[in-house]
A and B are shown apart, each in its own frame.
Chain A
């Protein structure tokens, strides 16, 4: 059984090498490897025991001189993110079938390499390994966005790169500090959990780690790289960034921040919640005013992620935190699925119409009914309509915020109203209304596009109607995490 996780890490690695060496059929090879990896994830899920224990553990010596081991394992929290990664990567690769990228071997090779980095991040039990995975995911996405991106790609991506790596270097500093404090002289997550630091030390470590995670998510005011990068990146780059990569930040908070430095969280959590809530409303208001559809979704993503981060921090600061963390788990999954769907629809619009401007579209529903209906389903998921996948997560997160502070919940709750307004406005202006010269000849979705959009719509509805299996995967782990935090706080 342990070998399953090893297999899960090896497949994208081998896949990226094979894809890199292949030629024009790179996308098919890439798809095959990503499906293989999905299959392994499926087997893992089937063998996964929904209790709090770490499963499929790997433990190999790596750099004994520094107390670094190749340690990885899966619990409920990791399982969700593994599912997210492995479900989305094949969809994202498939979403590229309508494009003919130059040098497809490099493009799909980089996507698979990034998948490796992401999976390392989501399973690492050693801080150094976590850091390596963190950077191993960043380098490929930098090249994807900067090589195949659009306008201003060089400048925009340089900003993105330096921003994120600045955060991660401070995280590394925090890790080295914890390592030096650690009597076991290693980077193991378990020994970090057992550390007893005073509140001043915890505050500093909190800030060092939080910077990295806040930039990645991004939390207001660390978000300035995000809209430009999303807009200039190629469609699949945007999907990777928004669908999976920002979950690295959320996962990092849950796994490496809350249980390691709970006193730091108590100290700064309130401020983070305020920042997140500012981000929610601020990004939503900006999203209203955007005429560029890709940028609009970029801002809406900031807004939705703000709710997740507010809910997570509220769960540590309130009496009962299970709902917030559980909500964030399912919302991670749902947000990933929805935002990939939205960006894919935008990509279809852009490649057919050659524009991202909402004002130049209209009446597409008449010529492309299938696109219109799938777009609507994904949209409903995004605005968290009951019965869609966005609802359970946002509901639980808001409930957690309500328990923490009623006003915080009230302001954050606006996100649902806001997102309904700007999303439907976009839908109305693109899909409904009168057709123009551009949109009258719009071709409906076909082939690979159908597969991607139908699978996403299926997930939107399935997770909305019956989210219980997802809750069951993570419940025990979340409970245990909160217990650990409580024990550490009481010491």
Chain B
């Protein structure tokens, strides 16, 4: 609770500071707020604070809260030289903070109404954030598309919640779980469409195939800053919410929703990877690659085990670390070369060895090369699925990993092997810190994953 209060307070303070044109104070204030919230979160470790049976701050919630807050902290730092002439700086920070409030609710809910409220707080903030550049057509298009699709999916989610309420008479996920355990054979017919509708609604939010159509356009059109926010933190929160629901509450009906999930996973992997192969724009490629990573993340739901939570946390951390590096470098390249196509990365290594090396490590992590966090993440997912001998599924994943190599290596090839404009890109301290930190996290998890394997 105090985490949410802290973030909300920070958001309002930032908003009012913005009114008084104290632009310089906005970023430090937000960072302090996030820091305090993170302190509260870490302080709640092992305490399992229950808020009126609406939210439970168990270790699962706290681990994901810390991940989300850390990711946001770094993304806030990225904004340092990003919104130079924008008049909406205060609104921008405020909305991101509000979105964070929604996400904290999404990872800690005990009640489906809280899930819904959290999801909406997050989504509404993101609709506005996607369109925050109101004179930019791309940004407007992204905002509208995201809003229409998002509202649509909210509908599905609500229908699902209603049906489940009809079957069980409660929004409380513990009561729902108990209902399934008590009635293993006589589950109400209302329940089944409820699960499927909720699955569809959630899949819209995390953007997996076939509910992904908004993702590439929105990611491309939004300001890169916001794209980074959506592709990393928001996605992690969405997964945490999904896993909490399907990995625990709906687990007794695993056999029922597994086929639907398998179809989603296989479609996601193939569609996202094959489409990413043909992208000419780096940002759009990252959008498609984020869809494909969502597919790998769903592996954790195929075989439910005690380690599912931890493998999602691991994969999400690995993915966020690599993404932050990639997005930070994308912003730098775009600012200095004016474009986010692959061509603008050509010959980057000549004058910017640090950027080239770190970008390479990020791409290797995305691709899942050993000694990077991405490999450990994929490895854990594969072992998890192999546990019940879904060998064919692992073969599908391997084929997709191979396709992935092509487009991730396209970046490395552009950076090292192609000739391009030789521009020295100045890197500010904040960016340098983010990039180096991202790479360090990637390598530490890659070489010694035990640091993160026992958290949950």
Identify which of B386, B387, B417 contacts A153 (C-beta below 8 A): B417
Given A158-B409, A169-B402, is A147 in contact with B417 using a C-beta cutoff of 8 Å? Answer: yes
Verify if A441 is at the interface (C-beta below 8 Å from B): no
Given A63-B449, A66-B383, A173-B398, is A154 in contact with B370 using a C-beta cutoff of 8 Å? Answer: no
Verify if A460 is at the interface (C-beta below 8 Å from B): no
Q: Which listed segment binds B: A130-138, A275-283, A311-319, A429-437?
A: A130-138
Contacts of A131 in B (CB 8 A): 370
Q: Determine the distance from Cα of A166 to Cα of B397 in the docked complex, in whole angstroms.
A: 11
Given A169-B398, A173-B391, A173-B394, is A146 in contact with B370 using a C-beta cutoff of 8 Å? Answer: no
Given A139-B369, A162-B406, is A169 in contact with B401 using a C-beta cutoff of 8 Å? Answer: yes
Verify if A64 is at the interface (C-beta below 8 Å from B): yes
Contacts of A180 in B (CB 8 A): 383, 386-387
Verify if B382 is at the interface (C-beta below 8 Å from A): yes
| A contact patch SS | helix
Residue of B nearest to A170 (CB): B398
Instruction: Report B418-456 CB contacts with A as 1/0, cut-off 8 Å.
Output: 000000000000000000000000000000111001100
A154 touches B417 (CB 8 A): yes
Residue of A nearest to B418 (CB): A154
Q: Determine the distance from Cα of A62 to Cα of B371 in the docked complex, in whole angstroms.
A: 13
A154 touches B413 (CB 8 A): yes
Residue of B nearest to A66 (CB): B383
Identify which of B370, B386, B395 contacts A132 (C-beta below 8 A): B370
Instruction: Report B369-401 CB contacts with A as 1/0, cut-off 8 Å.
Output: 111000000010011001100010011001001
Within 8 A of A (CB), among B310-354: none
How many A-B contacts are there with CB distance less than 8 Å?
64
Identify which of B394, B398, B450 contacts A65 (C-beta below 8 A): B450
Residue of B nearest to A133 (CB): B370
Q: Determine the distance from Cα of A180 to Cα of B386 in the docked complex, in whole angstroms.
A: 8
Contacts of A143 in B (CB 8 A): 416
Verify if B405 is at the interface (C-beta below 8 Å from A): yes
B406 touches A158 (CB 8 A): yes
A63 touches B413 (CB 8 A): no
Interface centre among A64, A139, A176, A177, by most chain B C-beta atoms within 10 angstroms, is A176
Q: Would you give the shortest CB distance from A213 to chain B, in whole angstroms? A: 17
B409 touches A161 (CB 8 A): yes
A63 touches B416 (CB 8 A): no
Verify if A420 is at the interface (C-beta below 8 Å from B): no
Residue of B nearest to A204 (CB): B391
Q: Determine the distance from Cα of A270 to Cα of B394 in the docked complex, in whole angstroms.
A: 29
Residue of A nearest to B386 (CB): A176
Q: Determine the distance from Cα of A180 to Cα of B382 in the docked complex, in whole angstroms.
A: 12
Verify if A376 is at the interface (C-beta below 8 Å from B): no
Q: Determine the distance from Cα of A162 to Cα of B387 in the docked complex, in whole angstroms.
A: 27
Q: Determine the distance from Cα of A185 to Cα of B409 in the docked complex, in whole angstroms.
A: 35
Residue of A nearest to B453 (CB): A65
Verify if A476 is at the interface (C-beta below 8 Å from B): no
A165 touches B405 (CB 8 A): yes
Contacts of B382 in A (CB 8 A): 172-173, 176
Contacts of A135 in B (CB 8 A): 369-371
B413 touches A166 (CB 8 A): no
Q: Would you give the shortest CB distance from A313 to chain B, in whole angstroms? A: 25
Q: Determine the distance from Cα of A147 to Cα of B413 in the docked complex, in whole angstroms.
A: 9
Contacts of A162 in B (CB 8 A): 402, 405-406
B417 touches A146 (CB 8 A): yes
Contacts of B369 in A (CB 8 A): 135, 139
Q: Determine the distance from Cα of A173 to Cα of B449 in the docked complex, in whole angstroms.
A: 20
Q: Determine the distance from Cα of A64 to Cα of B450 in the docked complex, in whole angstroms.
A: 8
Residue of B nearest to A149 (CB): B417
Identify which of A63, A153, A158, A170 contacts B450 (C-beta below 8 A): A63
A176 touches B370 (CB 8 A): no
B413 touches A165 (CB 8 A): no
Contacts of A64 in B (CB 8 A): 450
A161 touches B450 (CB 8 A): no
Given A166-B402, A176-B383, A176-B386, is A65 in contact with B454 using a C-beta cutoff of 8 Å? Answer: yes
Q: Determine the distance from Cα of A180 to Cα of B387 in the docked complex, in whole angstroms.
A: 7
Contacts of B413 in A (CB 8 A): 146, 154, 158
Between A and B, 19 residue pairs with Cβ closer than 8 Å are A63-B449, A65-B450, A65-B454, A66-B383, A135-B369, A139-B364, A139-B369, A146-B416, A161-B405, A162-B405, A162-B406, A169-B398, A170-B398, A172-B379, A173-B394, A176-B382, A176-B394, A177-B386, A180-B383
Q: A65-B450, A139-B369, A166-B402 are in contact. List 14 more A-B contacts (CB 8 A).
A: A62-B448, A63-B450, A63-B453, A65-B453, A66-B383, A135-B371, A147-B416, A147-B417, A158-B409, A158-B413, A166-B398, A172-B382, A176-B382, A180-B387
Q: Which 6 residue pairs across A and B have the least CB separation, nearest first?
A: A135-B370, A65-B453, A169-B398, A132-B370, A176-B386, A166-B402
Q: Which residues of B contact A (CB under 8 A)?
A: 364, 369-371, 379, 382-383, 386-387, 391, 394-395, 398, 401-402, 405-406, 409, 413, 416-417, 448-450, 453-454
